[in-house]
Amino acid sequence: MGKKEFLDAKENALKSLEDACAEQKVDEGVLQILELINGIEGFYTSSSCAGRIVLLEIPQIGDKRGATFLGVWHRTIEPKELKAAATKATKGLLWLLAQAPILHIGAQTLELADTMVKTAISCGFKNSAVKSTGKKIMIELCSTERLDAPIGRDGCLFCEDEHLSLLVEISNEVIERSGKKMARFVKKVGKFEDFP
């Protein structure tokens, strides 16, 4: 990718981020790292999330378009919050998801992309890789911690309170571990001299 194409892509990405922030569609936990990365020459961010716990209702496995988000939390939660969100369920499978942070980053060169991926991996984001080297060089930074658990169907929870509390505890641990990794990553990315 030439310098002009990269700068145009970065300008468009920053405009999209600005619009998303104005519409309060960006979770606050990821803003610091997005601003930091966008401030480094040779990088820009695309859709990203600081990690989340989700209660999702889907008509059937794999039907993302038909999915309904009953609850989305970018923080630790209590079992009662999950139960309250579940009362909105009507028809379909209920899934509890805990997802680690995911960052999508455009890089001007493969060398820069490689440096960013290695930095992320050193901070615990073991599922990080260069995802595309075609028209744009895109990186995906992600960790391995996650939970995907079916917990009910058609508006009914199938978990006893004790099991539901365990799932919430594990989900919260995903969020807490993610926060620590993100803090390490912010610290390393903040050292501009680490980037060529």
What is the per-residue pLDDT across 116-136, written as a single tens digit (0 to 9) for each? 999 999 999 999 999 988 889
Domains and CATH numbers, the chain: 3-191 (3.30.1960.10)
Quote the CA–CA distance of 120 and 178 in Å, as a whole number: 12
pLDDT at 37: 92
User: Confidence class of residue 170 from pLDDT cuts 50, 70 and 90?
Assistant: very high
Predicted pLDDT at 1: 61
**CB of 185 within 8 A of CB of 120?**
yes
Q: What is the pTM of this model?
A: 0.86
Residues 6+ apart with CB under 8 A from 121: 128
Instruction: Return the residue matching tokens 């620590």.
Output: 180
What was the pLDDT predicted at 193? 54
| Cα–Cα separations (whole angstroms), residue 109 to 32, 80, 139, 150, 181 | 23, 47, 11, 41, 25
pLDDT digits (tens, 9 = 90+) for 91-121: 999 999 999 999 999 999 999 999 999 999 9
Distance CA 118, CA 4 (A): 26
